[in-house]
Amino acid sequence: MLTGIGIMLLTFVVMEVVAWVMHKYVLHGFLWFLHKSHHTRHNHAFELNDLFFAWYGTLAMLFFIFGSEPLDYRFWIGAGITLYGVAYFLIHDVFIHRRIKAFGRTSNVYFKALNMAHRVHHKSSGKDGSESFGMLWVSPRYFKAASEVVNKKDKRGAVHH
């Protein structure tokens, strides 16, 4: 059981690397025609880019199916992919893009840095010119900028949520 949880957590971490590589070289590469929908304004709930969520969901499901009888490492890889998918949905779709209006503003330095990095990524609406391709890993320069914003608010007596 502990080995399985370890495999799941390792898979979660590896998924951040996979997501970064896929985002930079595939989504902003030959599959830009699907990802472009994420970089343009629209008034509908879904975008072509959401097909990638279905891809990773299918991949996780296959790992679950083939790792269930008997329970083996593939099950835990599926669990790690699923855990990353849940984190992606909550952080990227709900928190950053507010596709579900559930969260307000935050004074948390990590979440502010994450939001800053993502806004920089979306400055470019084209295939080229973007930076900051990860979902959970944030460059230290965004932590520094976010800390400065939070510290500035602290000096004015802002309340943390």
Residues 95-153: tens digit of each pLDDT: 877 777 766 677 788 888 888 888 888 777 677 867 778 778 888 888 898 888 888 76
Residue with tokens 């008034």: 43
Q: What is the pLDDT of residues 73-104, one digit of tens each?
A: 999 999 999 999 999 888 877 887 777 776 66
- The predicted pLDDT at position 65 comes to 97
**CB 102, CB 94: distance < 8 Å:** yes
Residue 155 has pLDDT above 70, yes or no: no
Q: What is the DSSP letter of 127?
A: S
Residue 105's identity, in one-letter code, is R
DSSP class of residue 94? I
Model confidence, pTM: 0.81
Top-confidence residue, 151 or 72:
72
Averaged over 46-55, what is the pLDDT?
86
Residues 48 and 25: their CA atoms lie apart, in Å, by 18
Q: How many secondary structure helices (H) and strands (E) does the chain include?
A: 6, 0
- Residue 22: the pLDDT is 92
